[in-house]
Amino acid sequence: MKQIRLFALLFTHCTLLFSQTGNDFPEFRCKPLPFNLPLSPLRATGRAGGDSQADITYGRFRWTVDPAIQYITGHVFYRFNPLIPLDRWTLDLSNPITVEQVRWHGQNINFERDGTDELTLYFPQPRPAGVPDSVEIFYQGVPPETGFGSFKTDNHNGAPILWTLSEPFGARDWFPCNQELNDKIDSCDIFITAPAGNHPASNGVLVSETTQNGQTTAHWRTRYPIAAYLLCMAVTDYAVFTDRAPNGSDSIPVVNYVFPENLAQAQNELSVIAPQMRLLDSLFGPYPFHREKYGHAQFKWGGGMEHQTMSFVVNFNFELLAHELAHQWFGDLVTCASWEDIWLHEGFATYMAGLCYERLLPQYWLSYRQIRLDAVVNEPGGSVQVTDTTDLYRIFSGRLSYAKGALVLHQLRWILGDAAFFAGARAYLNDPALAYGYARTADLLRHLEQSSGRDLDDYFARWYAGEGYPTYTAVWSQDAAKEVKIILNQITSMPASVAFFPLPVPILLIGAGGEDTTIVLDHTYSGQQFVAHPGFEVVQLNIDPELWLISAGNTVTRVSDAGETPVYPLTDWSVSPNPATGHLILRLNARRATDLGAALFAPDGRRLQEWPLHLTAGPNAIRLNLPDLPDGLYQLAVEGAGRREAKAVSVKRRG
């Protein structure tokens, strides 16, 4: 299907442009917050997120656990480079954990637990900046279950299981660390000891698994930089099997730790990883941890978690697997430098799972987009940018960080085209200043601008930091010469945040004989007029049929082909009281006697009620009785004569 982009002004001719539209998806299951999850209060660390005292270059972790018991005994050895002269070093460690001793160069040194979730080490002499040093910490205790259950025991089929899930603030619940988003541990060795019969899973490559005196110890090693919250362990009586997935001209092992009762199912369903990895390799470059492995460990939480090289998954759902695999690029290779930018993980992983539908199971691609769009427009406001980074629900908002983040990317792909969009994403991932480190939204913006040659500040201001979405009204006619005239109006769901969203709006024109063509309106202001010459009689006009845009409640009206659209009959109008508790008074000044209509719209764009308006010339005051509505912000629109104007109306219940 050809597409014609219309660059507006009043009834100008068309510039031809050719691109390609997409095609359809089942249920969304990744790391959205389970609504029945009991949350412990979140405790933000006292240290400034941007300040790091030392660069941790190596970590050796020895953890002894029993999956039947909520307890850990740990020994952590860190090599580090002081970034500033240090006479003390503060790490994160939850208060319930007991520190038994801290050793520095073979001697015990002083440390302090002051009732907070911090551990402060005191060196006998100040450590100079830039001189490598090391320290050992011995500890034990009952880790608290904060956030998503940072350290949790359960059972499957009667067998005990233990797992960790540290994102965003839970790493400190089970080991001393710097969990701020400013330092990655360059290299790690991980030793996990558990009762024999268990198989401990973790990051990197399994060096050895040995059993002695009724205890099994697994030694895992990773030589890629890793954020504290991505370190993990899962321990139970796993069945283990290895597949291989393509990686450029080679392949990598995919090591799977699954419940024995699910082994046959896992072996069948995990076969999707190879085509998914092949696709992501082609779009974004080779799997970032190809020298080690990719893998899965099954656990009992209601979704998945993208631990570096070892994703934890509740089951082997196609989208869940694609989402967590995508995180190895977006989240693990390049990690957000603030939870404010979690969409750089979740928006991308959600959209990359969608791309797996588009390219591998296209019958689900359209429904995938529709499900996300319905979620986004279910409420009028909310920004992709996280406005409260201490609120777990806000950070991992399924509607904003996941669904809206994904659709903001999908819409940007539409605006820039596939070549520039994917080139910018690859450049972002491969930037030496960002790869295996941290990034902010501004870094992504910069690379997309460089790949496209376009200024995207305004787009990100409206769609990342701003709130809301547009609703379109298209009024059209066609004359005897088959010239189509279109007036495109727009209102926004949060006009106080974003009054207008400039976008290229795709319009499908359908002919009487089944012909069709898509034109693209470069929409820069509400009420903008366009003309097209499709060359056939148009019987239907559809706004954004392929769901490239974030919009809702769109309407199309055909008007008489004879003459121009009449002068709009209203000079001004207002509504009161606002907030309203049962009725509204609509005041309108009409140029002449005329019939219009009023309509009330829900935050998601649904039309809730309509009223006919029979106006006399001059002032009019009309009472509109409201239906029983929940408290909230609605839109009241006056419609007719080829236009729609809307105002925000706050509704509150009586009493």
Identical topology for domains 55-236 and 238-328: no
Domain boundaries, given as residue ranges, for the chain: 1-30+359-496+518-564, 55-236, 238-328, 570-651
CATH fourth-level superfamily of 55-236: tricorn interacting facor f3 domain (2.60.40.1730)
Could you tell me if 167 and 68 are in contact, meaning their C-beta atoms sit under 8 angstroms apart? no
- pLDDT confidence of residue 2: 39
Beta strands in 84-187 (DSSP E): 86-92, 98-104, 107-108, 111-112, 118-127, 133-141, 151-156, 159-164
- pLDDT confidence of residue 10: 30
> What are the tokens at 172?
């400190």
CA distance 459 to 502: 8
The b-or-e profile of 518-553 (16+ CB within 10 A means b, else e) is: bbbbbbeebebbbbbebebebeebbbbebbbbbbbb
* CATH code for residues 238-328: 1.10.390.10
pTM: predicted TM-score of the whole model, two decimal places: 0.82
Assign 402 to helix, strand or coil: helix
CA distance 481 to 548: 31
Q: Any idea what DSSP says for residue 505?
A: E
- pLDDT confidence of residue 304: 97
**pLDDT < 50: residue spans in the chain:** 1-50, 562-565
The label of the residue with tokens 């207008």 reads: 500
Right CATH number for 570-651 from 3.40.50.1220, 3.30.450.20, 3.40.50.300, 2.60.40.2550? 2.60.40.2550
Torsion angle of C-alpha atoms 385, 391, 392, 393, degrees rounded to 10: -70
CB atoms inside a 10 Å sphere around CB 232: 26
CA distance 568 to 564: 11
Assign 525 to helix, strand or coil: coil
- pLDDT confidence of residue 654: 62
Of residues 535, 580, 525, 507, the one with CA closest to residue 4: 507
The label of the residue with tokens 């806000």 reads: 394
Assign 483 to helix, strand or coil: coil
CA distance 531 to 478: 9
CA distance 490 to 462: 15
CA distance 257 to 277: 19
Query: How far is the CA of 100 from the CAs of 60, 234, 451, in angstroms?
Result: 17, 25, 54
CA distance 123 to 109: 7
- pLDDT confidence of residue 356: 98
CA distance 383 to 367: 23
